[in-house]
């Protein structure tokens, strides 16, 4: 019976907190362990970018693998890195590892898969830079539309906040109010937000900030 140390990686802090992508990796790993009759000893979760190689959780997982003579188990090869040098370093660590999505991959195949992934990443980056350079050469001012749109949105929000000034001042004149109580009162009066939705403390806070800036 094989002992496995699971290593999961998510790219952002939000994914790590919400479980986005993490539960899918866990499901793949657990099904693999159950299917092989092995034993899952420990699990490590890393919140890092795929381009980085300094991963403390992975280092801890590898050390634990050496100590317990366990196999490092990952859900998919791309959860480690799209980087041949990083994969090579992992393989040279002496720790056995297996990807649940390709458990029969030998060392040569792992190198090839990592090389293809790294090549694709570089090509995407190259195509993006070429497209931006071509657009710039045609005289397109990158980001200009976004700036105009942001300014228009700001002006509309300013006009809307001014239209509610009398209502807000009336609420404030009734005594001290929290953002939550103001949101409840605006909803009770049937006053919609600029998007036609309900008010919440955060949207009331934005409204007051626009009124203050006017």
Active site residues: 11
Q: Cβ atoms within 10 A of the Cβ of 21, count?
A: 17
Q: Whose structure tokens read 């699971």? A: 6
């Amino acid at each position: 019976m094989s002992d496995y140390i699971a290593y999961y990686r998510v790219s952002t802090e939000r994914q790590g907190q919400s479980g986005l992508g993490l539960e899918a990796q866990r499901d793949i790993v657990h099904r693999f362990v159950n299917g092989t009759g092995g034993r899952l000893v420990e699990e490590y979760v890393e919140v890092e970018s795929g381009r980085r190689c300094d991963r403390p959780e992975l280092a801890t997982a590898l050390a634990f693998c050496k100590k317990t003579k366990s196999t490092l188990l990952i859900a998919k090869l791309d959860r480690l890195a799209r980087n041949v040098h990083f994969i090579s370093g992992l393989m040279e660590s002496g720790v056995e590892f297996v990807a649940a999505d390709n458990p029969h991959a030998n060392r040569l195949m792992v190198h090839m898969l990592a090389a293809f992934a790294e090549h694709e990443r570089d090509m995407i980056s190259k195509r993006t830079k070429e497209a931006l350079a071509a657009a710039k050469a045609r005289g397109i001012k990158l980001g200009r539309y976004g700036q105009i749109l942001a300014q228009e949105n700001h002006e509309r929000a300013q006009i809307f906040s001014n239209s509610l000034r009398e209502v807000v001042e009336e609420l404030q004149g009734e005594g001290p109010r929290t953002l939550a109580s103001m949101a409840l009162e605006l909803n009770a009066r049937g006053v919609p937000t600029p998007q036609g939705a309900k008010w919440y403390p955060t949207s009331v806070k934005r409204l007051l900030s626009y009124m203050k800036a006017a």
